[in-house]
Structure 1
Amino acid sequence: MANEQSALLLRRQLQELKKHPVEGFSAGLQGDDIYKWSIMIMGPPDTLYEGGIFRAIMQFPVTYPMEPPTLTFKSEMWHPNVYPTGEVCISILHPPGEDKWGYEQASERWLPVHTVETILISVISMLSSPNFESPANIEAAKQLRDNYSGFKKKVQRIVEASQEYEDSDED
């Protein structure tokens, strides 16, 4: 039952995004699995990521929207809030409820009202303004803080590489 409801909700969200595209990203199914979406995020204007075309996979649990999806960049990404594996670490993708370490309030974490659109707008915002409080990629955070020009060069390289990326069938 929950499985059918989450699939229906995801189909509705996909239809809504196709009907009313949002600037800065596109989303579609990876194959025919309603729980696995192919995402393309454009680097936000006036940021180091501007001009980038970053590919990612959003994987939804069958318990969606009660539990959050994961978003993992498949394009190379160098950012304090993206793990070296490519997985995005932002508050709204953290499980609902209280944070056991006390960094986040429950209202900042996953809520069932979030949609693919609100998640991706948050990811675009994350690219625009990194959070140093609790970095997922400590090396990227350290480089951004201590060696801005080195960080900027590395991001420029990944932006250029993202423009040349050939889409593949890998997940």
Structure 2
Amino acid sequence: MEKEGVRGRPDITLDPPPNCSAGPKGDNIYEWRSTILGPPGSVYEGGVFFLDITFTPEYPFKPPKVTFRTRIYHCNINSQGVICLDILKDNWSPALTISKVLLSICSLLTDCNPGKVNNSLPCFIFPHLKNTFLHKLIF
């Protein structure tokens, strides 16, 4: 990792994705906290979600570890907050920035990807959840 900090920091502070923020937890440049507001028009609209972003010394050549701290019911996010997203695994590229990662996570919140299941039950329920009694109970 670069001495002056995590690459992508100017990107997130100068041009953050809509409804997202991220930055270091205290003085540790390897540990970040992110906030994502539930995307408008999604079943998560009105929700506030906190995520942890952990960088390794190999960043940007290895992806950061991004996990939801806030419990969320989603087919691509398991009960420990682990996100099943290809760019956080095999399709990582050093050209990706934290803004692009957060934008991809927001997109995942808008459209569940049943082809990449990390939590199977929500995949069956998710498409029918919006504006239902169950939606009001969960969110």
Q: Same fold (TM over 0.5)?
A: yes
Q: Is the 8 A contact 1:48 1:156 kept in 2?
A: no
Q: TM-score, normalised by structure 1?
A: 0.72
1:139 lines up with 2:121 in the alignment: yes
Selected match of 1:23 from 14, 18, 39: 18
Q: CA RMSD in A?
A: 2.2
State the aligned residue count: 139
Q: Which runs of 5+ in 2 are unaligned?
A: none
Match of 1:100 in 2: none
1:87 CA drift (Å): 1.2
1:133 and 1:55 map into 2 onto residues whose CA distance is 25
1:153 CA drift (Å): 4.5
1:59 lines up with 2:75 in the alignment: no
Percent same amino acid at aligned positions? 30
Q: 1:149 to 1:17 in 2, by over 3 A?
A: closer
1:24 CA drift (Å): 1.6
Match of 1:90 in 2: 85
Q: Which has the higher helix share?
A: 1
Q: 1:69 to 1:80 in 2, by over 3 A?
A: same
Q: Is the 8 A contact 1:30 1:37 kept in 2?
A: yes
Q: TM-score, normalised by structure 2?
A: 0.88
1:122 lines up with 2:104 in the alignment: yes
1:149 CA drift (Å): 4.1
Q: 1:76 to 1:22 in 2, by over 3 A?
A: same
1:113 CA drift (Å): 0.5
| Residue identity matched to 1:131 | N
Task: Specify the structure having the higher radius of gyration (Cα).
Answer: 1
Match of 1:168 in 2: none
